[in-house]
Structure 1
Amino acid sequence: MAFLSLRALTFFSLLVLFAACIVDATPAVKRDSRTSAPSGAVVVRGSGTKSGEYSTVQAAVDSLPDDGTEQVIFIYAGTYSEQVYIDRDGQTTIMGQTSDTSSYTGNTVTITHSSSLGTAGTDDLTGTLRVHKDDFALYNVNVKNTFGQASTNGQALALSAYGTNQGYYGVGFYSYQDTVLAETGNQFYGSCYIEGAVDYIFGQYARAYFHKNMIASIGAGAITANGRSSSSGVSLFVINKATITTSSSATTSLQGKVYLGRPWEDYARVVYTSCSLGNLINSAGWEQWSSSSPNTDHVTFAEYESIGSGASGTRASFATTLTSTSGYTISDVLGSDYADWVDSDYL
Structure 2
Amino acid sequence: MKTHGVFSLSKGLALAALIAPLPAGLRADTNLTVAADGSAQFRSVQAAIMSVPAGTASNQVFIRIKPGTYRENIYLQREKRYFHLIGEDPETTILTYHLHANMPGPDGKPIGTFRTPSTLIDADNFTAENITFENSAGPVGQALAIRVDGDRVVFRNCRFLGWQDTILLNRGRQYFTNCYIAGHVDFIFGGATAFFDNCHIHCLRNGYITAASTPETEQFGFVFSNCKITGEPGVKTYLGRPWRNFASTIFLNTEMSDVVRPEGWHNWNRREAESTARYAEFNSKGAGANSTNRVAWARQLTAAEAAAITLDAVLRGNDKWNPIVRRGEP
Normalized against structure 2, the TM-score is what? Answer: 0.82
Say which of 295, 298, 318 aligns to 1:316. Answer: 295
Taking a change above 3 Å as real, the CA distance of residues 122 and 341 of structure 1, as seen in their structure-2 partners, is farther
User: In structure 1, what is the Cα distance between the partners aligned to 2:95 and 2:32?
Assistant: 17
CA drift of 1:67 comes to: 5.3
Q: Is structure 2 residue 321 aligned with structure 1 residue 338?
A: yes
- 2:5 corresponds in structure 1 to none
- 1:84 corresponds in structure 2 to 74
User: In structure 1, what is the Cα distance between the partners aligned to 2:179 and 2:310?
Assistant: 19
Amino acid across the alignment from 1:110: I
Q: Is the 8 A contact 2:128 2:156 kept in 1?
A: yes
- 1:46 corresponds in structure 2 to 36
- 1:273 corresponds in structure 2 to 252
Say which of 124, 138, 152 aligns to 1:148. Answer: 138
Say which of 254, 267, 274 aligns to 1:296. Answer: 274
Pairwise CA RMSD: 1.9
Q: Is the 8 A contact 1:263 1:299 kept in 2?
A: yes
Taking a change above 3 Å as real, the CA distance of residues 67 and 269 of structure 1, as seen in their structure-2 partners, is closer
Q: Secondary structure at the match of 2:170?
A: strand
CA drift of 1:49 comes to: 2.6
User: In structure 2, what is the Cα distance between the partners aligned to 1:115 and 1:342?
Assistant: 35
- 1:285 corresponds in structure 2 to 264
Percent identity for Structure 1 against Structure 2? 29
Amino acid across the alignment from 1:244: I
- 2:221 corresponds in structure 1 to 236
Q: Is structure 2 residue 240 aligned with structure 1 residue 261?
A: yes
Q: Secondary structure at the match of 2:181?
A: strand
The list of structure 1 runs, each at least 4 consecutive aligned residues, that deviate by more than 3 angstroms after superposition, is 340-344
Q: Is structure 2 residue 172 aligned with structure 1 residue 177?
A: no
Taking a change above 3 Å as real, the CA distance of residues 221 and 342 of structure 1, as seen in their structure-2 partners, is farther
Amino acid across the alignment from 1:212: N
- 1:192 corresponds in structure 2 to 179
- 1:4 corresponds in structure 2 to none
Q: Is the 8 A contact 1:264 1:295 kept in 2?
A: no
- 1:114 corresponds in structure 2 to 98
Q: Secondary structure at the match of 2:48?
A: helix
User: In structure 2, what is the Cα distance between the partners aligned to 1:48 and 1:265?
Assistant: 46
Give CA deviations for 1:105-143 in whole Å, capped at 9, x if unaligned.
Answer: xx3200111111122624332111100010000001111
User: In structure 2, what is the Cα distance between the partners aligned to 1:108 and 1:41?
Assistant: 21
CA drift of 1:338 comes to: 3.2
Q: Is the 8 A contact 1:272 1:306 kept in 2?
A: yes
Give CA deviations for 1:5-27 in whole Å, capped at 9, x if unaligned.
Answer: xxxxxxxxxxxxxxxxxxxxxxx
- 1:224 corresponds in structure 2 to 210
User: In structure 1, what is the Cα distance between the partners aligned to 2:197 and 2:30?
Assistant: 30
Taking a change above 3 Å as real, the CA distance of residues 67 and 194 of structure 1, as seen in their structure-2 partners, is closer
CA drift of 1:298 comes to: 1.0
Give CA deviations for 1:154-179 in whole Å, capped at 9, x if unaligned.
Answer: 11111100011000011100000011
Q: Secondary structure at the match of 1:283?
A: coil
Q: Secondary structure at the match of 1:309?
A: coil
Q: Is the 8 A contact 2:55 2:82 kept in 1?
A: no
- 1:56 corresponds in structure 2 to 44
CA drift of 1:48 comes to: 3.6
Q: Is the 8 A contact 2:127 2:154 kept in 1?
A: yes
Give CA deviations for 1:186-224 in whole Å, capped at 9, x if unaligned.
Answer: 1000000000000000002x1100000010000111100
Aligned residues: 285
Give CA deviations for 1:316-347 in whole Å, capped at 9, x if unaligned.
Answer: 11110001314421111101623266549xxx
Taking a change above 3 Å as real, the CA distance of residues 156 and 209 of structure 1, as seen in their structure-2 partners, is same
User: In structure 1, what is the Cα distance between the partners aligned to 2:32 and 2:113?
Assistant: 30
Say which of 51, 63, 66 aligns to 1:73. Answer: 63
Q: Is the 8 A contact 1:161 1:182 kept in 2?
A: yes
Say which of 199, 202, 222 aligns to 1:213. Answer: 199
Unpaired segments ≥5 residues, structure 1: 1-38, 99-103
User: In structure 2, what is the Cα distance between the partners aligned to 1:67 and 1:111?
Assistant: 22
Unpaired segments ≥5 residues, structure 2: 1-28, 106-110
Taking a change above 3 Å as real, the CA distance of residues 148 and 161 of structure 1, as seen in their structure-2 partners, is same
CA drift of 1:90 comes to: 2.9
User: In structure 2, what is the Cα distance between the partners aligned to 1:288 and 1:149?
Assistant: 23
Q: Secondary structure at the match of 1:333?
A: helix
Q: Secondary structure at the match of 2:222?
A: strand
